[in-house]
Structure 1
Amino acid sequence: MVPLMFKAEWSIEIDSRKPPPEEDSDPSLRTVGDNGRGAVDAPVPELRVATEARFADFDKSPVTHVVIQVTTTRQRDISRYVGYRYDWKFPSPFWAFLGKIAEKGVFDDDGATTLKELRYIPVGRREFIAYTTPLWRAAVEAIQAAKAAAAAGAGIPELPPISALEVTFKKPQHGQPLEMTWIPVRPLITARIKRWNDESDDEENVDVSD
């Protein structure tokens, strides 16, 4: 039996997060408002994207997840860079915007590949924020549909192998493109993603019998 989960909303324990050393007080910066349920309504900035030479021809079509590794300080810096005041107590809108930046930087396919937030884990002020790609979400939906039709003898499709990329950002510089780097994730992070996909807390469960 394989449990599959798809997270609908973030469940964030603020006490587990570390705020940046200094918070913005610039009154000219915009805020998302509505206790973090708003959105960062800013265009994705111009990017300068890099990876290691050995990954220059890496096939991104099988990618199922993207993990952004970023400190709360860098989140604050990027938010300020696009004209917003970062609210570390309500990070979801900023994580969604980071996902949009990663979409453009990694896939650059005019929005065809959209990233949806899955989970996060804080390590001090550094956070690992995981997102799913349409490939993974379509596979989950196909299994959900197949399970509903299982009584009629329909077969159950399998999930694709986990293929994930890790994204990091350099400190933004005024008047310069935002620098972003991606590489395939380490095995430790792949194992963490598998665990996140297997956990049932606050998610919709699909139990698929062998």
Structure 2
Amino acid sequence: MAEGKYEYKTDVNLIFGNQKVGRTHVLRTTLNSLPVWKIRNPEVSLSPFRDRTIGITKDASVIDGEMWVFGINATLSQDIVAAVKVAANYFDITPSKILMDIYAKNLNVDGEHEMGNKALIDANKVLYKNICKALSEAAKWLGVSNNINFYVFSKNNNNKIPQPDLHEALKSGGATSVTTDTHMPKVKIGSNDGEKFIPQLSNFHLATLKI
């Protein structure tokens, strides 16, 4: 969820222990509207369409066999439901197959440069807490009863939300357990505006949400 530039999309095949699994049905969401995303990713070919499955209009496109849905606010359960329905209908699978493993990379609130360090940490804690709650609410709305694995890439010493604060936020959002992998994968981390990206080693966390 919350993808930015296509070139630096999140590795959704990685699991704990530096292991990888194949994913045949992948949904990627982005807060960016379709016009904004196209400007930031001019090299990517799209075949966009609009979906109103649950009465909310969302733009979507299949890119390299994966479903992308645009304008998705991950703190709103109705947006998550809309995106999952689009992907489930396209792949002809149940919503539970989509909402089984969720990935996010260095989520961060907008307006960070206008905040002090403590205010930014607190704001990001609320962000992660609300995302967990929205995922659980969306799962219940969709009739999903399986646990949700919420994987998060974020360095333990991330000054925008250090590990203890991240884990606290995930638990306050409903996670029954939060663990950190001993292996640190190398990922590309970007700014909210999609202009700056750097490769770095990141810690890898797993929050379990029981529905």
Tell me if both proteins adopt one fold, taking TM over 0.5 as the criterion. Answer: no
Name the TM-score class by shorter chain: under 0.3
Q: TM-score, normalised by structure 2?
A: 0.24
Larger Rg: 1
Q: TM-score, normalised by structure 1?
A: 0.25
